[in-house]
Structure 1
Amino acid sequence: MTERAVTELGAIGQGATGPRFLVVGEALVDVIHGADDAIAHPGGSPTNVAVGLARLGHEVSELCYLGEDEYGELLRRHLRDNGVREQSGALTAPATSVADVHLSPSGDARYDFAVTWDAPTALDWTGIDVVHTGSIAIALQPGAGHVHELLENRPANVRLTVDPNVRPAFLPREFAVARIEPFLRLADVVKLSEEDAEYLYPGLSPQGVLDHLLGLGATIAAMTRGGDGAVLATVDARVTVPALADRVVDTVGAGDSFMAALISAVASSGSWDPSREELQEFARFAARASAITVSRAGPDLPTRPELSDAAPERVE
């Protein structure tokens, strides 16, 4: 990204109107070890969603768990450069979380994690309309329990969106549902990937998974299906949207991009229990965002002007 682009992104959200977002979740550093060097990249699914929302023009803060160290400063700079504020009240980690990625000569990856997670159980909710969480933040203790208490006691007017984005290294299958479903029961919008659905509900059809999520209390349930597109559902309507990318460089950040665009569209419209036509519009917007992200390397989520310029698509 050019220096000019970083400067422009850093201004996103300043003076923004519309819904104000809080993202609760991990910001970590992916250290990619090649044959001759190691390169550190900002990462974390919730952090990608926060950046995606900011690039879509929203006022966004993130409640994360960073250390006072070199990697913590790398992540704080990444958030600032993308127009995301670090939420006051966050706890300070003894060390910033790191995922070491070791690449073999054939390109296979081996991961070593040094990840910790914690969060406060109370927060000043002034100026927050929507809170989003997911991934390690709702899986890894002690923070997962603290996040649940925080969300359970949020004001009634603050909407909640959840993307479990399951990481098996932090969520053994035998207690995955018991750990995740308390969050799903609190949520207005839930998105699962096809892989998440298989891990949490093996043997259940995609339609059955969506029905289950709606039965837990969500008013909008979504499932992303990679090259097969995505399905969005409410109690009264169900729409599908195809995968729209003309080319795929990599799929890193595709699901986070879909989630950021989806909750941006829902929150901006105010339609948390949408009609079928509104659900179609949400699907279109989220699918365009994901298509742009997979067309370039890494979790490089789109800005609103890029989405506005994207071609329309068919939704069923």
Structure 2
Amino acid sequence: MPQPRKSQISLIDTPYYHCVSRCVRHSYLCGIDKHSGQSYEHRRGWVEERLLFLSTIFAIDICAYAVMNNHTHVVLCVNKALAENWSTDEVLRRYHKLHKGTLLTQKYVNGDTLSQGELITLDDTVEIYRKRLYEISWFMRDLNERIAREANKEDGCTGRFWEGRFKSQALLDESAVLACMAYVDLNPIRARIEKTPETSKHTSIQKRTQAVKNQQAQPSSLMPFAGNPRKNMPKGIAYSLKDYCELVETTGRCIRYDKAGCINNDKSPILERLGLDSAQWLTLTTEFEKHFCYAAGAEQMMSAFKRHTHHQRLRGMTKAKELLTRA
């Protein structure tokens, strides 16, 4: 039985979440339908464009994403503190880019004078909107509803396009975050759609590798890698972008050639700092969804998440102990 969303999202434990949306109809989200021969490849651009646009509206950063044939993967980082510091004007400016709001919020934005009672109601409405702008459920809703409408219009039909609910996994520590990001970035290679990370269209790893190769700044649409841990760390993932790209490339090569593979830890400082060996890493980056359901992380972190979300059981505890204990 599906768990309520409040038992899957716990910002007390982590701001990082892996979300997956899958199509329900036989026709593809993207790619070429083998049965009809119809190409839906252009829809990848729809998803990617909408996803990156939403990251400029919500207090939610995108760490990784991959647009596949009949599903999408995205790793998100919620920045609740950012949203809580937004002014009334900023909240309404952002929210109105996606929704009409109410007559009262429109009246305020237009500069009309509000009564004392209207101002009280406005404040309550703004707080509701503020909360929505850092809620993963609203982020995924604004992503999926737009794509569903466009796809239904193109297909000339009505009804559900996505499964009723997107899947959400809490990523409870650094190991889980990095492993899940690599799992998402390598999705096209595991599916044999692409051969290398840098040629994987409509993925975050392609954007990141292009930035590295061109010696450019990191993509502004993605949560940056902030480099090795140090004092006064800027916002971002506490690893080197270059190290991460090299590790994903090496991992992708192991997967691509359908071999057990071996990653030399001397060339993978991220693995050393995560406390993982190559066998653990390959398992995590190829079978992440198989072993973890609502949350992933070290056993202690999983136990805390279980308490905070009131789960009686949490699948993946055994694998957490086996794969992520040393992280």
TM-score class normalised by the smaller sequence:
0.3 to 0.5
Which structure's residues are more often helix, by fraction? 2
TM-score, normalised with respect to structure 2: 0.32
Question: Higher Cα Rg: structure 1 or 2?
Answer: 2
Which structure's residues are more often strand, by fraction? 1
TM-score, normalised with respect to structure 1: 0.32
